[in-house]
Amino acid sequence: MRSRAGIALLAGALLVALLTSCTPPSPSPTGSTATPSARKDRAGMVSVSSSRDMYLTCRGSGSPIVVLISGTGGAADEWTTLPPLSSPSSTAAPAEAVLPALSADSRVCAYDRPGTTREDGAPSPTPPVPQPTTALDGARDLRALLDASGERGPVVLVGASWGGMIAQLYARTYPRQVAGLVLVDSASTWLAQTLSPDQWRGWMAVIAAAPGDSAAERPAYDPTLQEFAAAAAAPELPAAVLSSDRPWDLGVTPDASTWPAWLAAQDDLARAWNATHVSATHSGHGIQVEQPALVASAIRGVLARAREK
């Protein structure tokens, strides 16, 4: 899901509302501390096959490469720019978005998945694909994009909301390419247990209600759960989990908030990855937009641990 300040719904729930409204280096071992020669900043389309292109932007240099993965419908610009201050008269120093803030520390990339939308409401230049799509579809697309662009691993994956599902499955599918993991109020398979059966069914019904002929990204959760069940075990990686601490709700059971179930799933997620759990974020669901400095700090911590291995 897109995660601008004030957006407080997870992938799928908000999506329905919106719808109805120099040679590349060889892959290095995961713990490599090698630093590639300085690379040029880039922003543009990359051909991932004879029939498909994807938009990619990268800045900085260094290894591992940090790859930022947005939630459902979110494009790369939620990591590169921030909305204007809500109070124009504020004297506070303006915050810096996650990607530019990290570009002095390592190579940092963000990209547009098919069916995503820019912050100005324009569709991404990445061509659409049939929807819904699974987390494994997303992981395979990202692998193809990194290979085609020459932005090869090792990588530290940073996934927000539905993007966290893609990051987790990528790490379990291509473990030798992944040096670390940061999950930003990420969705997880544990939600299928922590949500009540009524809440889970309600959430899946909201996602399924999206128009079938729409090009907008729509996550396929039930098939994704099957992909996770069939995947290899989670590798041991430096990892961090950041969780929202300002209550929000999926809105699928008005008489029972989904917030407690969300928090329980975040705890399970942190335990599963043996991750540092940052729960005092002073943020709603869009932590990378509401508290970008906190997200950047967590990524730097994982980068430092990855470089020590």
Locus of tokens 């590169």? 80
Burial class (CB in 10 A: 0-12, 13-18, 19+), 160: buried
The secondary structure of the chain, three-state, reads CCCCCCCCCCCCHHHHHHHHCCCCCCCCCCCCCCCCCCCCCEEEEEECCCCCEEEEEEECCCCCEEEEECCCCECCHHHHCCCCCCCCCCCCCCCCCHHHHHCCCCCEEEEECCCCECCCCCECCCCCCCCCECHHHHHHHHHHHHHHHCCCCCEEEEEECHHHHHHHHHHHHCHHHEEEEEEECCCCCCHHHHCCHHHHHHHHHHHHCCCCCCCCCCECHHHHHHHHHHCCCCCCCCEEEECCCCCCCCCCCCCCCCHHHHHHHHHHHHHHCCCEEECCCCCCCCHHHHCHHHHHHHHHHHHHHHHHC
pLDDT given at position 241? 98
Ordered domains of the chain (ranges, CATH)? 13-20+32-83+94-308 (3.40.50.1820)
- Per the document, the length of the chain is 309
pLDDT of residue 32: 37
Name every residue whose Cβ is closer than 8 Å to that of residue 259 and which is 6 or more positions away in sequence.
Answer: 247, 248, 249
Mean pLDDT by 10 residues, the chain (309 residues): 42 37 36 52 96 97 97 96 64 80 97 96 95 97 97 94 98 98 98 97 90 86 97 97 97 94 98 98 96 98 96
Which residue matches tokens 């999926």? 250
Q: What whole-number distance in Å separates Cα of residue 231 and Cα of residue 173?
A: 7
Q: At residue 140, what is the residue type?
A: R
Residue 167: the pLDDT is 98
pLDDT of residue 3: 45
Residue 278's DSSP bridge partners are 242
Per-residue confidence (pLDDT) for residue 208, from 0 to 100: 86
Please report the pLDDT score of residue 38 as a whole number.
66
CA–CA separation, 163 and 135 (whole Å): 8
